[in-house]
Amino acid sequence: MRYIEPHGHMVSRTTDDYIDMVTAGCEAVCEPAFWAGFDRSSSDGFRDYYRQLTEYEPARAARYGLPHFCWLCINPKESEDVGLASEVLALIPEFLDRPNVLGIGEIGLNKNSRNELKVLEMHVDLAARTGQMILVHTPHLEDKLKGTRLILDLLAADSRIRPERVLIDHVEEHTVRVVLDRGHWAGMTLYPISKCTPARAVDILDMHGTERLWMNSACDWGESVPLAIPKTALEMRRRGWSAEAIDRVIYQNPLRFLSQNPRFRLPTVA
């Protein structure tokens, strides 16, 4: 089995997790910028975090032959303070040329608040001005469908944004169709206690097909499973999916979306 982990918060995981992932067939990991489990007190904390994502973490993964990529932003959970968010956004361009940076993410909404929307708009503008791809987080705490619609409308209102270069993550049964119908890619997050279980994710694939869909573990500092993708592949096999169809979802689909950025190069792909 081979797979790509397109959304894993590796700074919160141990080195043993890297070894387990590579052993299970992981060929690349991508790490969106995220909340640290606590609110950072100044933009300096974000500068250090971006250095961790672009210097330290790729080096840690490289020890096991695993290519590591990342996305940069201030996440929605820390977007209430628009002043701090503005300072952090001003830092991001100096990191965008680093070799493992794929784009702006994971941006989006957490509580669907006015300030979160403002900061989301600032991120979308930054991505448009700098030609970056976008990775979007959709809310779990408040109304996911409402938040997803707000995000989709904001993206559609900006004619500089190409829908196929945007992935909307954490989709569920009630949001997957509206995302795909707008021409975006959709991500399903496999979590043991919230979001999507492996069984629900395979149900969604059975209902909506495999076009422009990927799965991720989003493994972070909370209860999460770094091997959620290979474990879901076992569920697919149990339900009679062919090896080729499983490979399409867990390897070829993320490869297709991410390869829109020429920086996403894998040593295993000619």
| Shorter beta-carbon distance to Zn ion: residue 179 or 246 | 179
| Shorter beta-carbon distance to Zn ion: residue 138 or 253 | 138
Half-sphere exposure of 180 (CA within 13 A, CB side): 20
Q: Does 250 bind Zn ion (CB under 5 A)?
A: no
Within residues 148-207, the interface with Zn ion by CB under 5 A covers none
Could you tell me which stretch among 28-36, 50-58, 122-130, 199-207 binds Zn ion (CB under 5 A)? Answer: 28-36
CA distances from 172 to 66, 106, 187, 191 (A): 29, 17, 9, 12
Q: Which amino acid appears at position 100 of this protein? A: N
β-sheet bridge partners, residue 135: 167
| Shorter beta-carbon distance to Zn ion: residue 34 or 191 | 34
Could you tell me which stretch among 13-21, 30-38, 88-96, 109-117 binds Zn ion (CB under 5 A)? Answer: 30-38
Q: Does 73 bind Zn ion (CB under 5 A)?
A: no
Measure the CA–CA gap between 252 and 258, rounded to whole angstroms.
10
Q: Does 10 bind Zn ion (CB under 5 A)?
A: no
Q: Which two tokens stand for residue 92?
A: 């991001």
CB of 106 to Zn ion, least distance (A): 5
CB of 190 to Zn ion, least distance (A): 12
Q: Which of 166, 176, 218, 233 binds Zn ion (CB under 5 A)?
A: 218
CB of 240 to Zn ion, least distance (A): 31
Q: Do residues 210 and 236 lie in contact, with contact meaning Cβ atoms separated by under 8 Å?
A: no
Q: Does 61 bind Zn ion (CB under 5 A)?
A: no
CB of 59 to Zn ion, least distance (A): 22
Q: Does 72 bind Zn ion (CB under 5 A)?
A: no
Measure the CA–CA gap between 229 and 224, rounded to whole angstroms.
12
- Residue whose tokens read 């944004």: 161
CA distances from 110 to 39, 40, 115, 216, 263 (A): 14, 17, 11, 19, 29
CB of 109 to Zn ion, least distance (A): 13
Cβ-in-10-Å burial (0-12, 13-18, 19+) of 90 comes to exposed
CB of 30 to Zn ion, least distance (A): 10
Cβ-closest position to Zn ion: 218
What residues line the site for Zn ion (CB under 5 A)? 34, 218
